[in-house]
């Protein structure tokens, strides 16, 4: 046949030798062009045949492209067929398949790129934006997918240059490739091909990067790049029926058709190529009809694009099929620990890829890891931006590989376990409590996981000093960036002497509080300085960065750049190279280098100023401020919706703010809620206000389903009031500028954006929040937190609401709204999960206290009972009771558990696993409440008997259940029951059918049961508690045996928890009681030790601390205290 094909393409070269393909043009004002004799020419033979035969050879493509992208952009096709010959010569055959993302249980962001011309597809794009994408987005959310549509025909800035427009359009497709491997690509075609850039419009670097086919339009290049060259299986093509054009009035046809016959034939060829390249099922022709012109928008109205139209159904059905295939959701129970581990692993892989000039530090870290345990951690110290995180990531990656290959000595038969934690790698990574919980789980700690940070600190201190811990290497990056707390800054969670089986490598910025705490220890850690880069390493970094973009500095420019003092900082150097890379005037590069600020934060401020001027203005400022004020970064979709307010995202200037103050018109967003103390003291008012705001309940006896529908409707109205998201083209400009400073979207898979390095956060604070007026600075923070709080109050993603909204309301000191947020059941359930107990407890402390929480949740449950299912009511009551037990609200917690048990037995079939948990929680509640009493009395027999009977019910359900988790909980109940059998013996009287003698025997039996379980689980802490029960109750009266077992329990307790733990205090106090009448002075020392521990752990005013204080304040012990003090003075 006489059709054009890739076989008609020939590469013709001159006889002179070709240029070195690795050479790059210099970024300087004296750069020379490549001599003509070194240029290569690529020509297309002009054998093109008729259009109807042109597409046959798409099925006969060679296995590999015949031309590279660099080569094809040198060709200058003379007609449309030659253009498509060039496309075919750079394309691969079909056959590549999409690999589904297996075992995906977390959120993921997907991007859908829409390609079309502008004027002639306004109606279709309106349908997509208002009907199709909202439906797809809701469907995606059920699969834990965030959908972002990229419709760049809407909102491309008018002032954008040709280069910027091309970069925005094709760069957005690149992001689709990066995030989803295969872009979800939708093309709309009719009779217009759109703007065709000239050769002068397309810079050489851009032409080479994308294999530009000169003579094609930007829309055609989107099709080529996003679908054609790789036969993208996720691409769909919708072609409007030609009959539509015939129905248009003559004055409108020019907007829908090409003016020349040549251009019209070009569109026919495009459609033929689409049909030849892709299966018939993915090339859909749809019909629609002209219906007139909208007088308000002056746009053409059409019919035939309704919900049942071919247009709408084709898009929805195709992308639902492709998305569900590529990203199936694993509905099995999600392990939060695994999700966080994957985020840190992704961060490690990103940061460890390139580390230059730090070989000596890397070697020293490996030497420390491979050497016998010294009991000391290793600290990597340096200024911000020194490359500490890269060193930590590379060291962790190297260590993981060595551990897998058993190349690290001293790991016993099991080898080494490796743990790493990077600040900023995952939500919650800056929270000390979360970090310690994650670390304890990873080192396989077996036992009850504390909910409060203080207990976690003590447990971590003890665990990391435990000589029986399995060999473990731990990396903690950027300790100075943990949320500012006393324990974080004093690094009190890190023991003075590590277990010989432990190696710990940490990084900190020098002279920060945590660095000073570590350096001030008596046993000083091994410290390595991550100092300035050597000159040769700096040159290597500059060459590597610029060469990637075909640029280089001459020797004078290089020397000028490296003469700056800040160039010894890797982060400063990489930012400076990025500034030079995007600088367009080669003749002014030297001046540009001279003008670079010689300081990291100062350079970042320069960069931010440039971003404002060139890439988004107030939208850039808003993006930076939103990210800075967010708690854990923001999803890209969230940013787009927040930025949709556009012109409203301009906080008042200092002058406007002062004017408002002067006029008494300060915005209500800056008004602080009533103080916490006042709120707690006026609880009845708080209950009324909060419940009224939260549920809008009015008449409590009204029908709840109707009220719920009303709430849903109100939420829907709030959703509709939200402005549309920021146009993708506007966002692309902002994102393209910020991308080097943001963590890659793909790191967590969900599209969460945050600053890559905290230095950027500091620069944002310095530039946009560090104001001369402290009141105005506070006002600005309040303004942005207010915007974020308003947004997160309206969203339907409760996981994100639970992560962000309480934080912003706490910042606003808006206690009423905070309580309302915590009362939303999905938010409560997210925060009440074990790993989130810390946040829920802290939030309620700020929202009025635990007593307020108990009353408010009680009212919420009353409303829930009027319309929810029995199963839901039982579940909610159990979860609230568990939280209230942690909060010390035992009376309310007990009431809820009893109600849950009754409902379970009456209506839900008495499920054994549920009743086991309910009775265990009820045992815990009653037991903890009973221990608030200062002393044991005879009247406590009834109370102990009741707790025993409750615990026995829990045991009866637990003992036939399988698994280590159940075994652990069974051990806890056995331990509780043994304690109260023992306490019963102290009462000294029979109650019902239980005698003192029987109780002592039962106490021994349950102690032994608990001991067997905890020994099997290697749970040292609870074994110590069991031993204490044995000493206190079983060996009571046998002084020597009792003291021996107490000492064994104390040794185990110190091994598991350390000195400052409530169990250590209890054992010491009981030992004091045991020997009080044999050795008064030694008894006092034990009582004093117990008191000191209680005062440190719970504070001097806690009831249990005061109980111990009352003992050592007895006259006899006060005399001993004075004698010991006098002895100390005499000895000193």
What DSSP letter does each residue of 663-712 carry, written as one string? HT---GGGPPPPPHHHHHHTHHHHHHHHHHHHH--SSTTS-HHHHHHHHH
Between residues 64 and 1099, the one the model is more confident about = 64
Contact criterion met (CB below 8 Å) for 363 and 399: no
Mean pLDDT of 687-705: 41
Q: 474-498: per-residue pLDDT in tens?
A: 999 989 888 877 788 888 889 888 9
pLDDT value at 704 more than 50: no
Grade residue 336 by pLDDT with cuts at 50, 70 and 90.
Answer: low
Round to whole Å and give the CA distance between 245 and 227.
27
Cα–Cα nearest to 139, from 286, 405, 323, 287: 323
Cα–Cα nearest to 1067, from 1079, 1056, 1081: 1056
Between residues 152 and 284, the one the model is more confident about = 284
pLDDT given at position 834? 54
pLDDT given at position 131? 82
What is the percent of the chain with per-residue pLDDT over 90, rounded to a whole number? Answer: 40
Round to whole Å and give the CA distance between 122 and 151.
11
Round to whole Å and give the CA distance between 980 and 1003.
8
**Residue 509, SS3?**
strand
Phi and psi angles of residue 357, each rounded to the nearest 5 degrees, phi first = 75, 15
- C-alpha to C-alpha distances, 127 to 170, 197, 317, 384, nearest whole angstrom: 24, 29, 15, 49
Residues 6+ apart with CB under 8 A from 1034: 982, 1000, 1003, 1004, 1007
Contact criterion met (CB below 8 Å) for 932 and 1103: yes
* Bridge partners of residue 508, in order along the sequence: 381
Grade residue 965 by pLDDT with cuts at 50, 70 and 90.
Answer: confident
Grade residue 1073 by pLDDT with cuts at 50, 70 and 90.
Answer: very high
Round to whole Å and give the CA distance between 419 and 344.
10
Window from 49-53, 321-325, 946-950 with minimum mean pLDDT? 49-53
pLDDT given at position 21? 36
Q: Tell me how crowded residue 1104 is: count the other CB atoms within 10 A of its CB.
A: 18
DSSP string, 517-547: HHHTSSSPPEEEE--PPPHHHHHHHHHHHHH
pLDDT given at position 661? 82
Grade residue 470 by pLDDT with cuts at 50, 70 and 90.
Answer: confident
pLDDT value at 44 more than 50: no
Strand pairing class (289-293; 300-303): antiparallel
Q: Tell me how crowded residue 859 is: count the other CB atoms within 10 A of its CB.
A: 18
Mean pLDDT of 294-299: 78
Cα–Cα nearest to 436, from 838, 846, 757: 838
Mean pLDDT of 370-377: 91
pLDDT value at 929 more than 80: yes
- The distance between the two most distant Cα atoms of the chain, rounded to a whole number of Å, is 115
Identify the DSSP state of 357: S
Residue 447 CA, chain-centre distance (Å), reads 27
Task: Round the average pLDDT of the chain to a whole number and report it.
Answer: 82
Round to whole Å and give the CA distance between 76 and 46.
12
pLDDT given at position 681? 40
**String of b and e for 821-849 (b: at least 16 CB within 10 Å)?**
bbbbbebbebbbeebbbbbbbbbbbbbbb
Grade residue 467 by pLDDT with cuts at 50, 70 and 90.
Answer: confident
Contact criterion met (CB below 8 Å) for 609 and 624: no
Determine if residue 878 is left, alpha or beta; phi over 0 gives left, psi from -120 to 50 gives alpha, anything else beta. alpha
Q: What is the dihedral angle through the alpha carbons of 196, 51, 231, 280, rounded to the nearest 10 degrees? A: 120
Q: 745-759: per-residue pLDDT in tens?
A: 444 556 678 887 888
Contact criterion met (CB below 8 Å) for 493 and 457: yes
DSSP string, 429-492: TT-HHHHHHHHHHHTT--SPPPSSHHHHHHHHHHHHH-TTSPPEEEEEE-GGGS---HHHHHTT
Angle at Cα 347 formed by Cα 342 and Cα 351, nearest 5°?
A: 150
Round to whole Å and give the CA distance between 304 and 286.
9
Round to whole Å and give the CA distance between 727 and 149.
10
Cα–Cα nearest to 694, from 809, 788, 824: 824
Round to whole Å and give the CA distance between 499 and 482.
24
Q: 170-209: per-residue pLDDT in tens?
A: 888 998 888 888 999 999 999 998 889 999 999 988 999 9
**String of b and e for 116-154 (b: at least 16 CB within 10 Å)?**
bbbebbbbbbbbbbebbbeebbebbeebbbbbbbbbbbe
């Amino acid at each position: 046949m006489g059709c054009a094909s890739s076989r008609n393409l020939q590469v013709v070269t001159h006889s002179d030798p070709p240029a070195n393909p690795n050479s790059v043009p210099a970024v300087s004002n004296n750069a020379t062009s490549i001599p003509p004799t070194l240029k290569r020419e690529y020509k297309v033979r002009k054998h093109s045949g008729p259009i109807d035969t042109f597409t046959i050879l798409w099925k006969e493509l060679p296995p590999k492209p015949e031309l590279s992208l660099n080569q094809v952009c040198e060709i200058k096709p003379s007609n449309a067929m030659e253009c498509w010959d060039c496309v075919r010569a750079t394309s691969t055959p079909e056959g590549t398949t999409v690999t589904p993302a297996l075992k995906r249980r977390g959120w993921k962001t997907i991007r859908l790129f829409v390609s079309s011309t502008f004027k002639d597809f306004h109606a279709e794009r309106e349908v997509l934006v208002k009907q199709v994408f909202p439906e797809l987005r809701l469907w995606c959310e059920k699969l834990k997918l965030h959908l972002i549509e990229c419709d760049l025909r809407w909102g491309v800035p008018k002032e954008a240059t040709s280069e910027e427009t091309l970069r925005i359009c094709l760069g957005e497709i690149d992001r689709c490739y990066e995030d989803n491997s295969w872009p979800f690509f939708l093309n709309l075609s009719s009779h217009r091909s759109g703007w065709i850039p000239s050769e002068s419009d397309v810079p050489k670097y851009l032409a080479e990067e994308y294999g530009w086919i000169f003579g094609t339009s930007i829309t055609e290049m989107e099709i080529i790049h996003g679908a054609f060259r790789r036969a993208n299986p996720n691409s769909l093509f919708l072609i409007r029926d030609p009959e539509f054009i015939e129905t248009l009035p003559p004055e409108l046809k020019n907007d829908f058709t090409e003016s020349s016959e040549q251009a019209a034939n070009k569109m026919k060829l495009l459609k033929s190529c689409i049909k030849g390249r892709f299966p018939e099922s993915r090339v859909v022709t749809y019909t629609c009809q002209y219906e007139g012109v909208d007088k308000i928008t002056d746009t053409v109205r059409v019919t035939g694009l309704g919900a049942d139209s071919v247009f709408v159904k084709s898009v929805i059905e195709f992308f639902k099929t492709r998305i569900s295939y590529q990203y199936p959701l694993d509905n099995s129970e999600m392990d939060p620990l695994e999700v966080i581990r994957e985020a840190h692993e992704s961060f490690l892989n990103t940061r460890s890829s390139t580390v230059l000039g730090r070989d000596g530090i890397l070697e020293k870290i490996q030497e420390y890891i491979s050497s016998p345990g010294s009991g000391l951690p290793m600290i990597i110290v340096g200024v911000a931006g020194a490359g500490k995180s890269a060193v930590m990531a590379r060291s962790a990656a190297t260590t993981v590989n060595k551990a897998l290959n058993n190349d690290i000595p001293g790991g016993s038969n099991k080898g080494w376990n490796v743990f790493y934690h990077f600040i900023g790698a995952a939500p919650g990574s800056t929270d000390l409590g979360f970090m310690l919980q994650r670390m304890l789980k990873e080192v396989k700690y077996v036992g009850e996981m504390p909910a409060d940070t203080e207990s976690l600190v003590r447990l971590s201190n003890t665990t990391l000093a435990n000589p029986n811990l399995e060999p473990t290497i731990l990396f903690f990056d950027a300790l100075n960036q943990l949320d500012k707390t006393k324990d974080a800054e004093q690094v009190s969670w890190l023991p003075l002497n590590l277990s010989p089986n432990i190696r710990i490598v940490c990084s900190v910025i020098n002279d920060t509080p945590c660095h000073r705490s570590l350096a001030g220890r008596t046993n000083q850690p091994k410290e390595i300085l991550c100092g300035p880069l050597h000159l040769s390493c700096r040159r290597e970094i500059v060459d590597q960065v610029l060469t990637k973009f075909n640029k280089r500095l001459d020797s004078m420019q290089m020397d000028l750049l490296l003469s700056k003092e800040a160039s010894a900082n890797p982060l400063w150097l990489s930012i400076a190279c990025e500034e030079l890379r995007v600088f367009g005037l080669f003749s002014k590069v030297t001046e540009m280098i001279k003008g670079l600020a010689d300081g990291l934060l100062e350079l970042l401020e320069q960069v931010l100023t440039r971003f404002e001027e060139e890439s988004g203005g107030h939208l850039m400022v808003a993006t930076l401020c939103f990210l800075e004020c967010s708690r854990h970064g923001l999803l890209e979709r969230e940013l787009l919706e927040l930025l949709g307010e556009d012109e409203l995202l301009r906080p008042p200037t200092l002058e406007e703010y002062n004017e408002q103050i002067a006029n008494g018109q300060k915005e209500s967003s800056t008004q602080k809620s009533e103080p916490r103390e006042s709120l707690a003291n006026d609880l009845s008012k708080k209950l009324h206000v909060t419940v009224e705001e939260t549920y809008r309940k009015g008449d409590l006896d009204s029908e709840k389903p109707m009220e719920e529908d009303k709430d849903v409707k109100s939420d829907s109205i709030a959703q509709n009031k939200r402005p549309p998201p920021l146009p993708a083209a506007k966002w692309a400009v902002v994102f393209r500028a910020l991308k080097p400073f943001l963590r890659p979207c793909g790191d967590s898979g969900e599209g969460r954006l945050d600053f890559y390095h905290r230095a950027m956060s500091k620069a944002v604070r310095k530039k946009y929040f560090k104001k001369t007026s402290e009141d105005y600075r506070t006002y600005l923070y309040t303004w942005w937190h207010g915007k974020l709080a308003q947004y997160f109050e309206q969203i339907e993603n409760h996981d994100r609401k639970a992560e962000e909204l309480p934080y912003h309301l706490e910042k606003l000191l808006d206690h009423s709204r905070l309580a309302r947020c915590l009362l939303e059941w999905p938010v409560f359930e997210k925060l009440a999960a074990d790993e989130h107990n810390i946040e829920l407890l802290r939030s309620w402390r700020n929202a009025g206290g635990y007593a307020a929480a108990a009353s408010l949740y009680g009212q919420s449950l009353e409303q829930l009972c009027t319309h929810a299912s029995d199963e839901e009511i039982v579940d909610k009551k159990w979860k609230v009771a568990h939280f209230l037990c942690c909060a010390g609200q035992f009376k309310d917690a007990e009431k809820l558990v009893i109600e849950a048990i009754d409902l379970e037995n009456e209506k839900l079939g008495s499920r054994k696993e549920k009743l086991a948990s309910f009775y265990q929680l009820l045992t815990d509640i009653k037991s903890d409440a009973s221990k608030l009493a200062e002393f044991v009395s005879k009247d406590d027999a009834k109370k102990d008997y009741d707790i025993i009977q409750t615990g026995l019910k829990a045991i009866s359900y637990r003992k036939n259940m399988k698994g280590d988790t159940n075994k652990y909980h069974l051990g806890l109940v056995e331990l509780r029951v043994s304690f109260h059998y023992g306490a019963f013996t102290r009462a000294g009287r029979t109650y019902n059918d239980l005698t003192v003698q029987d109780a002592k025997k039962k106490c021994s039996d349950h102690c032994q049961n608990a001991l067997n379980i905890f020994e099997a689980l290697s749970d040292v802490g609870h074994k110590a508690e069991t031993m204490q029960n044995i000493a206190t109750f079983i060996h009571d009266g046998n002084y020597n045996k009792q003291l021996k077992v107490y000492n064994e329990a104390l040794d185990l307790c110190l091994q598991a928890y350390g000195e400052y733990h409530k169990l250590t205090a209890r054992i010491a106090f009981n030992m004091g009681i045991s020997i009080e009448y044999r050795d008064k002075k030694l008894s006092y020392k034990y009582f004093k030790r117990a008191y000191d521990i209680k005062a440190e752990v719970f504070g001097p005013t806690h009831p249990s601390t005061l109980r111990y204080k009352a003992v050592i304040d007895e006259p006899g012990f006060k005399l001993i205290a004075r004698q010991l003090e006098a002895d100390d003075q005499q000895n000193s």
